[in-house]
Amino acid sequence: MSRPRILVPGKVNPRILERLPDMFETVLIERADPALVPAEMADVVGIAVSGRLPTELMDRFPRLEIIANFGVGYDGVDVDRAAARRIVVTNTPDVLNEEVADTAIGLLINAVRRLPRAEQWLRQGRWAHEGAFPLSPLSLRGRKVGLYGLGRIGLSIARRLEAFGLPIAYHTRSRREDIAFPYYPSLASLAEAVDTLIVIVPGTPSTAKAVNAGVLSALGPNGVVINVGRGSTVDEAALITALQDGTIAGAGLDVFENEPHVPEALIALPNVSLLPHVASASVVTRGAMADLVVDNLEAWFTHGRALTPVAETPFERNSR
């Protein structure tokens, strides 16, 4: 009996490629391009993908049953189309929560205390030749933090902020009855109540450019924005302007609108800390994410049920 055929379009974590052959016939193509799929590959029943999966590629496979997505966010997959075809889409929640939360706190400290610039001051020999690095204009002390998003990662960030003794409030689409933090019904009202905004929401039409000029203005001249969610949630042009003219004091960003391209105007600013989308990028965490991708595929074809299906595709194999 032939083994299930799994397509891997483009680059994925090597751990996925190591494990797939144990149970599956693996087909690799250079990138997620329907033109690279020969006719004899129409019997693909699963896809393991990191990044965007064009709908046209999904539709090349009439027998497709499952799309195993590497990452918590799955906005690169047309999940509505998948649901219409009763294709289950999985993601990799939980295994990266703590790593991303650590990065968010690191970015916050870097942005407030300007530690990366202090390190460069030392490395460039300026401490010895010019004296002490200038005092950081900001501190974590006395700050009020607003979380835009309070899912698994948001809660992990909140636990760390509580250890720092910082008051926390939040905004989500609806109030969480299991959470005691103050809730604000709009992002603008949250921004008015805090001076530090941590963004950890998925990239969806409803969150696109939600952190706009008005929200930034509401944060005020002591305001700091941290984004470890999706670059699309922050109006990048408005953010650059706000940082340049003192509308807010600083920012820490791990994600950007047009990755991997980051505006030179943003790079040139002294009051930002910038990372190249590395919030979950440790060997340990990425390995756990890769394992969950393969575990989802194995569970689907062995037991008829994925381990971590996304909410839009709660299907079982025998109900297809």
- Catalytic positions are 230, 259, 277
- To which H or E segment does residue 29 belong? strand 25-29
Residues in the chain: 320
C-alpha–C-alpha distance, residues 37 and 9, integer Å: 10
Give the DSSP letter string of 104-146: HHHHHHHHHH-HHHHHHHHHTTHHHHH-SPPPPS--STT--EE
Could you say which DSSP state residue 316 is in? B
What share of residues in the chain are helix, strand, coil (percent, to 5)? 40, 15, 45
Measured over the CA atoms of residue 153, residue 156, residue 162 and residue 163, the dihedral's sign is negative
C-alpha–C-alpha distance, residues 153 and 229, integer Å: 10
Contacts of 120 (CB under 8 A, 6+ apart): none
Max Cα–Cα distance, the chain, nearest Å: 73
Check if the beta carbon of residue 71 is closer than 8 Å to that of residue 94: no
